[in-house]
Structure 1
Amino acid sequence: MRIPRLRPAAALLLVPLLAGCFVAAPGDPYGDDGGAGSGGGARLRVALAFPPAENYSPYGMDAYDLSRLGVVEGLTRLDANGTAVAALAESWYAEGNGRDWLFALREATFHDGTEVTAAAVADSLTRAALAEPPPGALSGIRLTAEAAGDRLVRVSTEEPDPVLPLRLSNPSLAVFAPSAFTGDRVNPAGTATGPFVLTTTTGDTAASLDRFDGYWGGRAHASGVDVRYISDGTARANALRTGEVDVAEAVPVAQVPALDPDTVHEINTARNTSLYLNTSTGLFTDAALRAAAREAIDTAAVADGVYEGYAEPAQGLYGPALSWAAGLRGAPTGRTADPAEPDGAALTLATYNDRPELPETAQVVQQQLERAGFTVRLEVRGYAQLESDLLAGAFDAAVLSRNMMLETGDPVTVLASGYTCEGSFNPALLCDPAVDALTEAARAEAGPAQRQQAAIRAEAAVLGTDAEIPLVHLKVVTGIRPGVTGVVLDPYERELVGAGTRR
């Protein structure tokens, strides 16, 4: 029996937080015409910047590759304005206590041919909630899920969570068939629900996807996707220039002048490049030395010298793509230490080369710190080789790039995962009682305006610790060959190839 559609929860969701540019092509099930192609369709050739670091585990950053390639879906997705809209769930509402939400499922099929049922969805979400470490979208949240009918799922949190539909849009909370769960890992190959099926992988260098003819949104225009992971930005741009790939993400700004202008597509994002200082071990446990590092940094030199107009000097954690932030922002709070003289204090500064501007940015930062009196050793790796050591505190400082709205589209969620004692991705290893208290207070706010104001108060406390020194707010350039349509230019960097993408 088909479950009646539930009343949409629009009044309970956050108002748009981010204006963006999702380009919907004919055939995109999230676009205007609602159907996809039925022909054979050429295969797409795509170059991604970040190789899988965890064997395509959906509970970490690899989930974003699976999402950008159209493999996985959750109950909801984010639209261009940062609002949660229907995906595998057609509609939803919050029950009276604010802790329980009911989601009505659309009729859909997993890649293995089994039906998307309430029991399968509940099991998939429960397994994600029990993962160690938990997905960033669940930082500080205890989530449970249960079937409430054949096509109804009840998702509950320990405390009221006004942004749960936004949270469930995160790729790390994608829904998988029961067959995905074998042993102690999740196998996303042939077990998800998106328009493309992950069929083969070649280590961390390549992958192949085939069109899923049973996709609920209609058959994708492309018959499949051939993916190459090309960490080197120049090589990625060259692959686009020579016609080896149809789409290349994160084209280096230094390569833009050498490309055909018709292939260059830029978009403002909520992504920052920042200098993170290890507050847990080493010399930057000293707040006075962190203050000295902050005073040494010239953000304009980074924006002008490295990013050549594709970035702005940072004003805080939330950049100009989030128009509400600038009007609310005040001075950082909680600073208690004056800058100390570094006196040659030695430190290791790390970054990764998957984003080609980062090594150059790190070199500029290195020079600025050395002029201030620090002794700096720079270490550059691929991100897959960097992350575990970074989160283990192996470096004194790191230059990293992060989309502040990546996890949910909610400005508070990233605070919980990135800056609190229990945060799941906390590069500075920050553990500050004031930051934790303000973040907890922000999480308790239900109204969008109040939530934004609380996020800015927590931002001020984070900046006051000097654990993170924001450098620039970024634009992202995607390379797309002429004749290729339907590529999704997503400010959240979750989507790239969809059912409507074709050549």
Structure 2
Amino acid sequence: MRLPARLVSLTAVTAASALLTGCFASTGTDGDAGEGKRIRVAHMQPPRSGLSPLSDDAFKLSRWSTAETLVKLDADGNAVPALATEWEQSGRSWTFTLRDDVTFHDGTELTAQAVVNSLTKAAAASPKPRILDGVELTAKADGDNRVTVTTAAEDPLVPQRLSSPQLSILAAKAYQGKTVNPVGAGTGPFELTKVNGTTSATLDRYDAYWGGKAKAPGIDVKFVPDGTARAAALRSGEADIVEAIPVSQAALLDEELITEVPMPRTNTLYLNTDNGVFKDASLRAAVREAIDAESIVKGVYESRADVAEGLLGPALPWAADLRSDVQRAKAGKADGQTVTIGTFTDRAELPEVAAALQQQLQKAGFKVKLDVREYANIESDALAGEFDAFILSRATVLDSGDPAAYLYSDFASDGSFNISQLADPTVDKALKKAGETNVGDARRKAIVEAEAAVLGTDAAIPMLHERVIQGDAAGVVDAAHDPRERELVTVDTYVK
């Protein structure tokens, strides 16, 4: 039964709200803005790498409209102009013409050499940004306002790759030390002025923005990993925009304050194929047969999710039309084998999913231990293969708008996010074919064939496709509701 917000435990609300007390700056009006207040944002995950754009922190910089890329993606995943106004391909090379009159937040001009510097740093990074997995990329200035990007092999996805926030273009000052520091170095409508570790960040409007003055005078960000606290921040008026409200909290909020956004995001159980119990394909198959995803969707997500038929969900409707039966191994018997499943607390539903899986797998004959931590404290162990299984909420088109990059990153032998430790020649061949096929129907067919190759190994068992729930206070105007999680506060967003 759904409870009205007024019946929420006062103690629970007070405790959660206390986590946010004093964390947002004053929301006084700004005389030049016309629309007034600073925007207070409660983010789910704190920075992992000091807001370096070469990490997943890049998507925070993008969501705050402080760092920009050469191109953007439209709703259909097509590349459209951003810092570059046009581009043309010649074999392995793509030449991009830069927008005029763009300045970085430190006052320096956007030049071809500045673009080359940013792209070269990204291409040489270790680890590489996911979007460059399997891609050798070089950039060269062609005069003051043109940049030629060349890949080792002809790549039809270069423009889409360059839309990834991990390939943001920053001023030279950002690259002075051993790490990349984005403070005061972007080109967007908001300048990042201060970062307080993993606690908060401050951004002020950049009045010289090439796309026109932002309607809000600034953004005050608080990192709030606790989902109940984020929901309480919206309920109490402590925050204007709240990321990723847990399903369990959504029913306690005014429906007019929340928006469900269908996500190209799949909740997947990754199984370690390199060592431990699940090196045995028959035991991976036993896990697949033991999982009851529908009960998880109903019980944990309160039917605010979709049961997975594959790795690619309803946000990519063409996948279902192209999908065919997958050949898989027969299930073996668990016989009391002990396994450890890891996951993280940042997405409030995942510990509940882990508990449900523990029961389902124990019923199938496994002994199951759980290891649940904050994501920042568990990612390195997951990538190192320290778990028998790992539950991950994974965006499937986050970087390029094309799922081939995600599939390569997660399942290629040399993929940078290969939690399953998968090294399968058939999968590698299918992934290579998908990556090399030109954009269009043929590429989509190759992508679904690569998905089938992965599913055939049972290295990853897709369970459900998520819908993110975003909270916007009553006075918020034109906040972005972006299924790719690239935009949140834009030049047009403000608080009445």
2:416 to 415, 424, 446: 424
Which secondary structure does the structure 1 equivalent of 2:339 belong to? strand
Residue 132 of structure 1, CA deviation? 0.3
The aligned counterpart of 1:19 is: none
- 8 Å CA contact retained: 2:38, 2:220: yes
The aligned counterpart of 2:215 is: 221
1:296-349 per-position Cα deviation (integer Å, ceiling 9, x unaligned): 10111111111112111101011011110111001224x3x3212111111111
Q: How does 1:150-299 map to 2 (within 5 A)?
A: 150-299=144-293
The aligned counterpart of 2:13 is: none
Q: Which one-letter code corresponds to 2:192 in the other structure?
A: L
1:175-228 per-position Cα deviation (integer Å, ceiling 9, x unaligned): 011111123211111111111111111211111111111111111111111111
- 8 Å CA contact retained: 2:413, 2:428: yes
2: CA distance, partners of 1:391 / 1:244:
36
Which secondary structure does the structure 1 equivalent of 2:270 belong to? strand
- 8 Å CA contact retained: 2:263, 2:484: yes
Q: Which runs of 5+ in 1 are unaligned?
A: 1-36
2: CA distance, partners of 1:81 / 1:240:
31
2: CA distance, partners of 1:59 / 1:169:
13
The aligned counterpart of 1:12 is: none
2: CA distance, partners of 1:201 / 1:258:
32
The aligned counterpart of 1:310 is: 304
The aligned counterpart of 1:135 is: 129
Q: Do structure 1's residue 43 and structure 2's residue 35 form an aligned pair? A: no
Q: Do structure 1's residue 101 and structure 2's residue 85 form an aligned pair? A: no
Q: Which runs of 5+ in 2 are unaligned?
A: 1-31
Q: Which one-letter code corresponds to 1:412 in the other structure?
A: A
The number of residue pairs the alignment matches comes to 463
1:10-30 per-position Cα deviation (integer Å, ceiling 9, x unaligned): xxxxxxxxxxxxxxxxxxxxx
Residue 152 of structure 1, CA deviation? 0.5
Q: How does 1:349-428 map to 2 (within 5 A)?
A: 349-428=341-420
2:317 to 296, 311, 323: 323
2: CA distance, partners of 1:261 / 1:356:
20
Residue 447 of structure 1, CA deviation? 3.5
- 8 Å CA contact retained: 1:411, 1:452: no
Q: Which one-letter code corresponds to 1:54 in the other structure?
A: S
1: CA distance, partners of 2:252 / 2:143:
57
1:96-139 per-position Cα deviation (integer Å, ceiling 9, x unaligned): x2x11111111211111100000110111011000001000001
The aligned counterpart of 2:78 is: 83
1:146-168 per-position Cα deviation (integer Å, ceiling 9, x unaligned): 11111111111111111111110
Residue 361 of structure 1, CA deviation? 0.8
The alignment's TM-score, normalised by the length of structure 2, stands at: 0.92
- 8 Å CA contact retained: 1:74, 1:170: yes
Which secondary structure does the structure 2 equivalent of 1:239 belong to? helix
Which secondary structure does the structure 2 equivalent of 1:104 belong to? strand
Residue 40 of structure 1, CA deviation? 7.2
1: CA distance, partners of 2:389 / 2:265:
19
Residue 38 of structure 1, CA deviation? 4.8
The aligned counterpart of 1:122 is: 116
1:250-284 per-position Cα deviation (integer Å, ceiling 9, x unaligned): 11111111111110111111111011111122111
1: CA distance, partners of 2:362 / 2:447:
34
1:411-458 per-position Cα deviation (integer Å, ceiling 9, x unaligned): 211111111011111221211110000010111111410000000001
The alignment's TM-score, normalised by the length of structure 1, stands at: 0.91
2: CA distance, partners of 1:189 / 1:279:
41
- 8 Å CA contact retained: 1:80, 1:490: no
Residues 40 and 306 of structure 1, relative CA distance in 2, 3 Å threshold:
closer
- 8 Å CA contact retained: 2:35, 2:494: no
RMSD (Å), alpha carbons: 1.1
Q: Which one-letter code corresponds to 2:381 in the other structure?
A: D
The aligned counterpart of 2:443 is: 451
The aligned counterpart of 1:66 is: 61
Range moving further from structure 2, 117-126 or 440-449 = 440-449
2: CA distance, partners of 1:247 / 1:471:
29
The aligned counterpart of 2:482 is: 490
